[in-house]
Structure 1
Amino acid sequence: MTMPVATTIPRDRWWKVKWFSDDDTKEERRLITKIDMFLVPYSVLGYWVKYIDQSNLNNAYVAGMKEDLGFDGNELVQLQTLFTLGSVLGQIPFLFIMTYIPIQWLIPACDILWGVFTLLQYRVHSYAELAAYRFMIGWFEAAFFPAMHYVFGSWYRGHEIARRGGIFYTGLGAGTLTAGLIQAGASKGLEGVHGMEGWRWMYIICAIITIPVGILGFFVIPGTVDQPNRWVVNDNDIAVARDRLEKHGHVLHGKMKFGHVKRTLLSLRFWTVVTTDVLFWNAGIHKNTASFLLWIKSLRRYSPARINELGTISPALGIAYTLIACFASDMFLGPAWAITFCSAFNALGLIFLTIWTVPEPALWFGFATMYWSNALSSVFHGWVNNLLRDSPEERSFTLVLINLLSQSSTAWTPLLTYPTVEAPRYRKGYSFCLGCALALIVFTWIMHYYLKRDKRSAKSDSDVEMEAREDDGSKPVVQRLCVDGRVGGIRRDDPS
Structure 2
Amino acid sequence: MAHSVSEKERELDSGSKNDVRLGEARVPDAQPRTLRQKISAVVWDSLDKTPQERKFISKIDWWILSYCCVAYFVKYLDQTNVSNAYVSGMQKDLAMGGNQLNLLTTYWNVGYIIGQLPSQLVLTKIRPSIWLPSLEIIWSILVIGMAGAKNVETLYALRFFVGLLEASAYPGIMTLLGNWYTPAELGKRACIFQASSSAAQMFSGYLQAALYSGMNGRGGLAAWQWLFVFDGIIGIPIAAYGYWAIPDQPTSSKARWLKEEDRAMAIGRMESCGRAPMKKLTWKIIREILTSWPVYLFCTIFIFHVLGIRIYAYMNLWLKATGLYTTEEVNIIPTAGYGAQIFFTLTYAWTSDAIGLRWPLIIVACLIAMAGTIILSVYPEGNIPAMMAGWLLTFLETGAGALIITWINEVCSHSAEHRAIIIGVVETAAFTFQAWVPLLVYNTGEAPKFRIGYKMATVFFGLEIVMTLAILYCAKKWPQRKREETASLSDEGVAV
Q: Could you say which TM-score interval applies, normalised by the shorter chain?
A: 0.7 to 0.9
Of the three residues 213, 227, 236, the one matched with 1:211 is 236
Structure 1 position 419, deviation (Å): 1.3
* Residues 333 and 7 of structure 1, relative CA distance in 2, 3 Å threshold: closer
Distance in structure 1 (CA, Å) of the matches to 2:90 and 2:405? 36
Say whether residues 1:91 and 2:116 are aligned partners: yes
Alignment partner, residue 123 of structure 1: 148
Distance in structure 2 (CA, Å) of the matches to 1:15 and 1:427? 49
Which amino acid is the alignment partner of residue 26 of structure 2?
T
Q: Which consecutive residues of structure 1, in runs of 5 or more, have no partner in the other structure?
A: 466-479, 488-496
Structure 1 position 90, deviation (Å): 1.0
Structure 1 position 86, deviation (Å): 0.8
Say whether residues 1:414 and 2:419 are aligned partners: no
Q: Which structure's relative contact order is higher, taking Cα pairs within 8 Å and 6+ residues apart? A: 2
Structure 1 position 444, deviation (Å): 0.3
Contact 1:221/1:232 (8 A) holds in 2: no
Of the three residues 349, 357, 360, the one matched with 2:372 is 349
Could you list the structure 1 runs, at least 4 aligned residues long, displaced by more than 6 angstroms after superposition.
2-6, 9-14
Which amino acid is the alignment partner of residue 97 of structure 1?
V
Say whether residues 1:313 and 2:332 are aligned partners: no
Structure 1 position 301, deviation (Å): 2.5
Range moving further from structure 2, 89-98 or 13-22: 13-22
Distance in structure 1 (CA, Å) of the matches to 2:97 and 2:428? 31
SS of 1:252's partner is: coil
* Residues 346 and 218 of structure 1, relative CA distance in 2, 3 Å threshold: same
Map 1:350-429 to 2 at 5 A: 350-357=373-380, 359-429=383-453
Map 1:246-261 to 2 at 5 A: 246-261=271-286
Structure 1 position 216, deviation (Å): 1.1
Of the three residues 133, 142, 154, the one matched with 2:158 is 133
Range moving further from structure 2, 4-13 or 293-302: 4-13
Distance in structure 1 (CA, Å) of the matches to 2:312 and 2:248? 32
Alignment partner, residue 293 of structure 1: 316
Structure 1 position 486, deviation (Å): 11
SS of 2:276's partner is: coil
Range moving further from structure 2, 415-424 or 90-99: 90-99
Structure 1 position 136, deviation (Å): 0.9
Say whether residues 1:303 and 2:326 are aligned partners: yes
Of the three residues 136, 139, 153, the one matched with 1:114 is 139
Say whether residues 1:152 and 2:177 are aligned partners: yes
Distance in structure 2 (CA, Å) of the matches to 1:19 and 1:168? 16
Distance in structure 2 (CA, Å) of the matches to 1:80 and 1:464? 39
Structure 1 position 362, deviation (Å): 1.1
Distance in structure 1 (CA, Å) of the matches to 2:350 and 2:449? 35
Structure 1 position 85, deviation (Å): 0.8
Which amino acid is the alignment partner of residue 476 of structure 2?
K
Contact 1:256/1:394 (8 A) holds in 2: no
Contact 1:85/1:135 (8 A) holds in 2: yes
Contact 2:146/2:228 (8 A) holds in 1: yes
Q: Which consecutive residues of structure 2, in runs of 5 or more, have no partner in the other structure?
A: 1-7, 16-24, 492-496
Distance in structure 1 (CA, Å) of the matches to 2:364 and 2:39? 19
SS of 1:427's partner is: coil
Structure 1 position 231, deviation (Å): 2.3
Contact 1:28/1:241 (8 A) holds in 2: no
Contact 2:146/2:158 (8 A) holds in 1: yes
* Residues 273 and 76 of structure 1, relative CA distance in 2, 3 Å threshold: same
Of the three residues 428, 432, 435, the one matched with 2:459 is 435
Structure 1 position 482, deviation (Å): 5.6
Which amino acid is the alignment partner of residue 394 of structure 2?
M
SS of 2:227's partner is: helix
Contact 2:46/2:53 (8 A) holds in 1: no
Map 1:221-300 to 2 at 5 A: 221-288=246-313, 291-300=314-323
Contact 1:74/1:420 (8 A) holds in 2: yes
Distance in structure 1 (CA, Å) of the matches to 2:48 and 2:235? 39
Structure 1 position 22, deviation (Å): 8.7
Structure 1 position 40, deviation (Å): 1.4
Say whether residues 1:175 and 2:194 are aligned partners: no
Distance in structure 2 (CA, Å) of the matches to 1:116 and 1:138? 13
Distance in structure 1 (CA, Å) of the matches to 2:473 and 2:97? 49
Of the three residues 163, 173, 189, the one matched with 2:214 is 189
Of the three residues 85, 105, 125, the one matched with 2:130 is 105
Contact 1:256/1:397 (8 A) holds in 2: no
Contact 2:115/2:168 (8 A) holds in 1: yes
Distance in structure 2 (CA, Å) of the matches to 1:350 and 1:7? 38
Alignment partner, residue 220 of structure 1: 245
Alignment partner, residue 445 of structure 1: 469
Contact 1:122/1:204 (8 A) holds in 2: yes
Per the normalisation by structure 2, the TM-score is: 0.88
Distance in structure 2 (CA, Å) of the matches to 1:39 and 1:482? 34
* Residues 454 and 190 of structure 1, relative CA distance in 2, 3 Å threshold: same
* Residues 200 and 251 of structure 1, relative CA distance in 2, 3 Å threshold: same
Structure 1 position 397, deviation (Å): 0.7
Structure 1 position 25, deviation (Å): 4.2
Say whether residues 1:7 and 2:7 are aligned partners: no
Q: Percent identity?
A: 27
* Residues 482 and 217 of structure 1, relative CA distance in 2, 3 Å threshold: farther
Distance in structure 2 (CA, Å) of the matches to 1:486 and 1:355? 56
* Residues 194 and 117 of structure 1, relative CA distance in 2, 3 Å threshold: same
Structure 1 position 238, deviation (Å): 1.3
* Residues 344 and 90 of structure 1, relative CA distance in 2, 3 Å threshold: same
Per the normalisation by structure 1, the TM-score is: 0.88
State how many pairs are aligned.
Answer: 464
Which amino acid is the alignment partner of residue 356 of structure 1?
Y
Structure 1 position 71, deviation (Å): 1.0
Distance in structure 2 (CA, Å) of the matches to 1:260 and 1:18? 38
Say whether residues 1:51 and 2:76 are aligned partners: yes
* Residues 18 and 71 of structure 1, relative CA distance in 2, 3 Å threshold: closer
Alignment partner, residue 470 of structure 1: none
Distance in structure 1 (CA, Å) of the matches to 2:462 and 2:389? 19
Of the three residues 138, 144, 165, the one matched with 2:190 is 165
Alpha-carbon RMSD across the aligned residues, in angstroms, is 2.6
Distance in structure 2 (CA, Å) of the matches to 1:280 and 1:303? 32
Contact 1:104/1:229 (8 A) holds in 2: no
Distance in structure 2 (CA, Å) of the matches to 1:43 and 1:230? 15
Structure 1 position 66, deviation (Å): 0.5
Say whether residues 1:322 and 2:341 are aligned partners: no
SS of 1:370's partner is: helix
Alignment partner, residue 338 of structure 1: 361
